Structure 1
């Protein structure tokens, strides 16, 4: 008999909104301005899912930065990112199938939230741009507020499960990044789904902790979730 789960936690960037190219472009511009070079794809892939508090010092590794300087550089990079998102109106939408799945989750009263490495300014931007308050409570989301270690530490997913009132083992997590998958796995999440382009499915199925891989939310198996309210 298939095991079912009581709650679901979504990463956001690259998971509900395909925006990796915008983050890549913003970090590349930042690196070019500050270091006079382009960021490499290998560097960028290593940064996915991590916070600016980790990424900025890694890019500017030859400088002694204060906490305030790191925060200011991070704010600047995120402002660049938001500009790039707004410029690309054609792709400024949630991943295919996500609105329909979220409607069903809400109608079924399944506990759900977002656990993201984004900071509050970006989360507020996402809520306004995508109308996320239709499905989520901003106060119930977990984002980078500088009070806990970022991914791949397990803290973010343990906090998200706690906010939902369930154990990590009772949760599904949907993630797109290696550090996020490692975070969910270390947190003891019961079922981890990676979301990726079809050509990346084989890669993600080899990542420890991954139970399934999807390309969009039309492929999500709703029978994995327990429904307090039946359709």
Structure 2
């Protein structure tokens, strides 16, 4: 990897920089397993559902996609809905409540290989941003002790405030590059989700890197990743 060909690295957060995907997956599984059981749905929630319907999507879109896979229709509701309300937003808020409980009680540690790449990029002068569908991104970055590494964070809150479509659209990544003052063609997108590499492929980015944390290398390539690694340390070049 020759980083002197690029001026910016645009990182997804969950599953790329930190293993928060594991916390998210646990929270989604608890929420949907309880919900489906209570409604008497015979097809249980599985890990495959996470990768097929939820991974990388904004939270409420993930809820809607998962419900649609079981033929369940609920009112969309409002982001202010209580976690106890059975609406798309209520279920999303219920999942977020579970996620926050686990994050605060157990904390989070960034992947060692990801930290190594961040150190390398800082040394060679590549600008860095985080682009996450999660509204918890700032809290996760603080918990992992890496918030000061990223002058630009485009998360679910920023996307909502600016009316930016979420992944698999490229808009949040494009906005991050603009905020760094770097052309998208000189920016690298680093993603572990199918919807994320689709977002990178849909934009005019210099390179789309897939990080295989469970989505599958072939699936990431098929949906837009030009390079696939299993650990970000593999991307440390000889600049």
TM-score, normalised with respect to structure 2: 0.79
Write the distance in 1 (CA, Å) between the matches of 2:58 and 2:164.
Answer: 11
SS of residue in 2 equivalent to 1:192:
strand
Write the distance in 2 (CA, Å) between the matches of 1:199 and 1:40.
Answer: 14
Q: Pairwise mapping of residues 1-231 of structure 1 onto structure 2 (< 5 A)? A: 4-36=5-37, 38-46=44-52, 47-60=54-67, 61-68=72-79, 69=81, 70-86=88-104, 92-119=108-135, 122-137=136-151, 140-145=152-157, 146=160, 147-197=163-213, 200-201=216-217, 203-204=218-219, 206-223=221-238
Q: Unpaired segments of 5 or more residues in structure 2?
A: 82-87
Instruction: Label 1:118 to 1:204 Cα distance change in 2 as closer, same or farther (>3 A).
Output: same
Is the contact between residue 168 and residue 188 of structure 1 (CA under 8 Å) also seen in structure 2? yes
Q: Unpaired segments of 5 or more residues in structure 1?
A: 226-231
SS of residue in 1 equivalent to 2:134:
coil
1:228 matched residue in structure 2: none
Stretch of structure 1 that moved more, 127-136 or 58-67? 58-67
Stretch of structure 1 that moved more, 165-174 or 75-84? 75-84
Is the contact between residue 138 and residue 147 of structure 2 (CA under 8 Å) also seen in structure 1? no
How far 1:86 moved relative to its partner?
Answer: 4.8
Instruction: Label 1:62 to 1:132 Cα distance change in 2 as closer, same or farther (>3 A).
Output: same
Instruction: Label 1:218 to 1:88 Cα distance change in 2 as closer, same or farther (>3 A).
Output: same
Is the contact between residue 120 and residue 236 of structure 2 (CA under 8 Å) also seen in structure 1? no
Instruction: Label 1:209 to 1:58 Cα distance change in 2 as closer, same or farther (>3 A).
Output: closer
RMSD (Å), alpha carbons:
2.5
Write the distance in 1 (CA, Å) between the matches of 2:220 and 2:66.
Answer: 30
Stretch of structure 1 that moved more, 167-176 or 214-223? 214-223
How far 1:208 moved relative to its partner?
Answer: 4.3
SS of residue in 2 equivalent to 1:141:
strand
SS of residue in 2 equivalent to 1:97:
helix
How far 1:205 moved relative to its partner?
Answer: 6.3
How far 1:175 moved relative to its partner?
Answer: 0.5
Query: Structure 1, residues 33-66: CA drift from partner, whole Å, max 9, x if none?
Result: 3332542333211221001121223344422231
The number of residue pairs the alignment matches comes to: 216
Write the distance in 1 (CA, Å) between the matches of 2:117 and 2:140.
Answer: 18
TM-score, normalised with respect to structure 1: 0.82
